[in-house]
Amino acid sequence: MTEQQLGQTAEACAGCGVRLQTDNPDIPGYLPEAALQRDPVICQRCFRIRNYNEVSSVAVDQDDFLRLLGSIASTDSLVVHIVDLYDFEGSLISGLQRFVGNNPVLLVVNKVDLLPKSMNLNRLRNWVQKQAKLEGLRTLDIILCSAKRNIGFEHVIEGLDKHRKGRDVYVVGATNVGKSTLINRLIRDYSDMERELTTSRYPGTTLDAVHIPLEDGKAIIDTPGIMYASRLTEVVPRSVLQALLPEKPIKPLVYQLNEGQTLFFGSLVRFDFVQGERQSFTLYLSNALNVHRTKLERADELYEDHRGELLGIPTREELEEIPAWTRHSIRVPRGSKSDVFISGLGWIQVNSTTGALVDVHAPKGVKVLLREAMI
Ligand code: GDP
C-alpha cells in the first residue's frame, strides 16, 4: 500500500516528530485533514497538549507496547496500572510485573460508577484482590475510583503521595480504560500547573511520552494504551463502541430461561442455555444493547435473517468487518455463583443451584471465561 492510500503524509509532527497521518484518530500521528494547513503542522495530540494542557489517548500494538514497558524496567519509578472494572480480565496487562522490572505497581481500578449503588466496596476490593492474584499480579495497593464521575479520586492522590517516594510515575493501561480521563484530572488536581507538559522519546522506540511535571521536579509519564484484540470493544467499528461503553450505572436485567432458549445481545454475541433446570440469568451489559430472546432451535435462522436489523447493532455492512463467531461451551458448576464474562461486553451472572451448560457465540478472539461472581 502506498503512503497516500494509508492517509499518511510525508511530514513529521513539529511537536513530537511522529509521522503524520489523517486516517485513524486512535493511533499516533493523527491530525484532521484541515489541520495540515496550520503552521507549524502538529499532530492532534500535541495540539491538545499545547492548547488545552490536556492529554488524549493514542494506542500502539503489542510489540511497541512491550518495548516501552521494557524501557520502564531500567528506571526507578512507581507504575500505575489502570484497569477497567467493567472489563477487568480484558483490560489487565498480563505479565506486567515481568516487563517493568523491580518497580512497584499500584493497581487503579476505574469505572466503579458503573456498578449498582448498593455495591459494597470492601467486598469489591476483596474480589479485585483475589482476581488480580489469580492473574499473577503483584500490587502494592488497590484503589477503586471513577475518573469520570470523580469518585474515590482522593484515594488515587493519597496512593500516589504514599507510594511515590520521590520517584517518577508511569501510567499504563489498555485502550478505553479511562486513562486519559484520569490523567487529565491529575493534571488539574495534582501536577505543577505552573510548568508546561513536555514530550520526549521512550528509549528504543519512536513513541513520545508526555511528561506531566510534579512539584518535586519529578513527573507523571503517560504511555500509549495497548490495544487488545481479545476485547469486543477493540474489534467493533467506532460507531458501535459508544453503545458498548456504558456511561451510567448498569441496570441488571434478569431473565428466567428454560433449557433450549437463546439470548442475542444486539447482533454481536449470542448466549444459549443448552442444558439445566429453569433458572435466572442476570445480565450486566450496556443498557444501550438490544436483548432478544428466542428458542435455541430457531437461533441460527433468526440470525441469518435478522442480524444487523431486528436484532440491533451493528449493521450488516459493519458485521462484515468483524471476525466471525466461535462457540465457547461453558459448564457452570452446581451450587456456584459465577459470571460468564465476555470481554468488552459485560457479563451474565448465573446463580445456579443445579448447574448449567451454556454456549457463548462471540467474534473469534474475544475473551470469554467463567469467573467467580463479582456482585
Ligand atoms: P483511554 O483510552 O484509556 O485514555 O480512555 P478515555 O479516557 O478516552 O475513556 C474511554 C471511555 O471510557 C470514554 O468513553 C470515557 O467517557 C469513559 N470513561 C472514562 N472514565 C470513566 C469512568 O470512571 N466511568 C465511566 N462510566 N466511563 C468512563
31-89 residue pLDDT tens? 999 888 888 888 888 888 888 888 887 788 888 888 888 889 989 999 999 999 999 99
DSSP classification of residue 30: B
The residues, any chain, with a CB within 8 Å of residue 282's CB and separated by 6 or more, are 252, 253, 254, 255, 348, 349, 350, 351
Of residues 278, 279, 276, 308, the one with CA closest to residue 292: 308
Q: Which three cell numbers stand for residue 116?
A: 449498582
139 with 213, same domain: the answer is: yes
Beta strand 346-352 with 356-363 is: unpaired
215 with 250, same domain: the answer is: no
Residue 57 domain-assigned (yes or no) = no
Would you state the pLDDT for residue 56?
Answer: 80
For ligand 1, whether the C-beta of 314 sits within 6 Å is: no
191 with 327, same domain: the answer is: no
Would you state the pLDDT for residue 60?
Answer: 84
Ligand 1 atom nearest to 55, measured from its CA: 4
Which of the listed residues 175, 196, 228 is the one where a domain comes to its end?
228
Which of the listed residues 204, 228, 252 is the one where a domain comes to its end?
228
Task: Determine the 3-state secondary structure of 338 from DSSP.
Answer: strand
Residue 97 CA, chain-centre distance (Å), reads 19
Ligand 1 atom nearest to 174, measured from its CA: 3
Would you state the pLDDT for residue 205?
Answer: 66
Would you state the pLDDT for residue 370?
Answer: 97
Count up the domains in the chain and report the number.
3
Separation of CA 178 and ligand 1 centre (Å): 3
Residue 154 CA, chain-centre distance (Å), reads 22
User: Which phi and psi (to 5°) does residue 234 adopt?
Assistant: -95, -10
pLDDT < 50 regions, the chain: 1-5
Of residues 224, 165, 170, the one with CA closest to residue 18: 224
Give the neighbor-by-neighbor strand order of the sheet with 168-173.
Answer: 141-144, 105-110, 77-84, 168-173, 219-222, 208-213, 198-201
Residue 46 domain-assigned (yes or no) = yes
Number of H-type helices and E-type strands within the chain: 12, 21
Of residues 155, 169, 143, the one with CA closest to residue 223: 169
For ligand 1, whether the C-beta of 363 sits within 6 Å is: no
For ligand 1, whether the C-beta of 184 sits within 6 Å is: no
Q: Which three cell numbers stand for residue 265?
A: 445481545
130 with 189, same domain: the answer is: yes
Ligand 1 pocket: which of 93, 148, 155, 185 to mutate (most atoms <8 Å of CB)? 148
Would you state the pLDDT for residue 296?
Answer: 98
154 with 297, same domain: the answer is: no
For ligand 1, whether the C-beta of 180 sits within 6 Å is: yes
Domain housing 347: 243-372
Which of the listed residues 176, 195, 228 is the one where a domain comes to its end?
228
Ligand 1 atom nearest to 247, measured from its CA: 26
For ligand 1, whether the C-beta of 146 sits within 6 Å is: yes
355 with 319, same domain: the answer is: yes
Q: Which secondary-structure segment (H or E) carries 328?
A: strand 325-332
For ligand 1, whether the C-beta of 150 sits within 6 Å is: no
> Is the bond leading into 40 cis (omega within 30 degrees of zero)?
yes
Distances (CA, A) of 361 to 186, 286, 295, 322: 40, 18, 15, 13
Looking at residue 115, which CATH number applies to its domain? 3.40.50.300
